Amino acid sequence: MNESSTKSKTALVTGAAKGIGKAIALELAKKGIQVAINYKSSESEALEVCKKIESSGIKSQAFQADVSDNKAVISMIKDIENKLGNIDILVNNAGIIDDKHLIRMSDDSWHNVINTNLNGTFYCTRAVLRKMISSKWGRIINISSIVGLRGNPTQTNYTASKAAVIGFTKALAKEVATKNITANVITPGYYETETTSVLTPEMKKFWLERIPQGKFGDVENVATLAGFLTSQDATYITGQVISVDGGLAI
């Protein structure tokens, strides 16, 4: 894999203090990419990620912002540009869940999930896109979910947000295709993260029976793909939805 084109780049990974976002940030750092670690409230975890990256000689810094707040996003991007330089790679990973049956779902439950998962992707992408276009280079990776493809009971808000991210990415990929900017979606399945740790034994059994490989994935599975999508080898891949789910989407 040709990594020489990314070693001088700067990436922003949102929601990178834990889980998939953390794994992606560490993977990009392995490729010599300096990484801005966005977090909303997990400051100590975000600083630990930065410390781990910097121990390998790669520059990293943590930036607090709620991606559902456009003003906070704009302020964060300016801060990153001042401290690390222009953002060449954006990974929109930050997301929340607030599961309820639709008949019991409040306006807040709906809007909070949409605002973080979808609007946050919009705000961050818009904030970095102009300079990507000017530099004629950019990689945008949006983290959706298997439920964005299949739906899931009690997750109409989450499913709607993640399905919309897929449509957003496909349209964006067409807009910037001639600017040497790619935009792709990764749809993870179920992983050994905090999200699955709260599942009951019955729910874990339910999902494991439906995953052809019969196991939950490791976050590194997603991180490896994200790293590849930033590379020179992936320049002709754009507008794609790639599932990393042990076959669950089949």
Q: Please identify every residue annotated as catalytic.
A: 158
Burial zone of 180 (CB within 10 Å; 0-12 exposed, 13-18 middle, 19+ buried):
middle
Instruction: Give the side-chain half-sphere CA count within 13 A for 123.
Output: 23
- Between β-strands 10-13 and 60-64, what pairing exists: parallel, antiparallel or unpaired? unpaired
Neighbouring-strand partners of residue 37: 13, 62
Residue 9 CA: distances (Å) to CA of 6, 23, 130, 184, 190 = 5, 18, 16, 18, 30
Report how far residue 65's alpha carbon sits from residue 222's, in angstroms, rounded to the nearest whole number.
24
Report how far residue 137's alpha carbon sits from residue 142's, in angstroms, rounded to the nearest whole number.
17
Residue 35 and residue 11 in contact, taking contact as beta carbons nearer than 8 Å: yes
